[in-house]
Structure 1
């Protein structure tokens, strides 16, 4: 499985990449901005996206996924966020996500969630 990580926290993106590699999956890219996420996901066609909601630019993770969906891309997405705001969860539901995990995310939680894909 080929995965793109969209996460603006460098430490967390490193931790997620180590967990993904430990699970035996390939990381296609790690990006920190919504605009870059849209471009990379469209260009690299991953099997899965791990998406933070709050990113470095004006396009948050949910808005990025909305644009990706509008372009016809149905790539599975797992949100990993520090934001447990019900309004964001409701917005995220419109993108047909696999799971919505609240940070910090443990190895077993990530493994079980990826297994849903």
Structure 2
């Protein structure tokens, strides 16, 4: 499975990449901000997005998903450091596979990815 990672913390992004590869999947790309993510996701057409919600520019992860879903139907797993319910309510508008609160374990990510088309 081709997985695109959007995470503005480079260390966490690298950890997610290593977890994804350990599961036998390929990281099709990474981005640290919303504008970059929107462009790259549309051109790389991944099978799954691992999406941080709060990013370091004016576009948050939920807005990225909203933009991308206009062109592509890609499942999303949100991985966020913010447990504020208002973000989860906004994310519900566009649907998601899972909504994980950081820090996440390898086992948690494994279970979430396995929910995508029943594979993992």
Superposed pair shares fold, TM > 0.5: yes
**Structure 1 gap ranges (5+):** none
Which TM-score applies when normalising by structure 2?
0.94
User: Residues 92-103 of structure 1 correspond to what in structure 2 (within 5 A)?
Assistant: 92-103=91-102
- 1:3 is paired with a residue of what secondary structure? strand
The superposition leaves residues 3-33 of structure 1 with CA deviations (integer Å, 9 ceiling, x where unpaired) of: 0000000110011001001000000111001
Q: CA separation in 2, counterparts of 1:68 and 1:8?
A: 18
In structure 2, the residue matched to 1:11 is 11
In structure 1, the residue matched to 2:72 is 73
User: Residues 22-101 of structure 1 correspond to what in structure 2 (within 5 A)?
Assistant: 22-69=22-69, 71-101=70-100
> How far did 1:72 drift?
3.2
**Structure 2 gap ranges (5+):** none
In structure 2, the residue matched to 1:111 is 110
Which TM-score applies when normalising by structure 1?
0.97
Aligned residues between the structures: 116
- 1:28 is paired with a residue of what secondary structure? strand
Q: CA separation in 1, counterparts of 2:97 and 2:72?
A: 15
> How far did 1:42 drift?
0.6
The superposition leaves residues 73-107 of structure 1 with CA deviations (integer Å, 9 ceiling, x where unpaired) of: 11000000001101000000011100000000100
8 Å Cα contact 2:42/2:71 also seen in 1: no
Q: CA separation in 2, counterparts of 1:15 and 1:42?
A: 24
Task: Calculate the aligned-residue CA RMSD, in Å.
Answer: 0.7
> How far did 1:50 drift?
0.1
> How far did 1:63 drift?
0.8
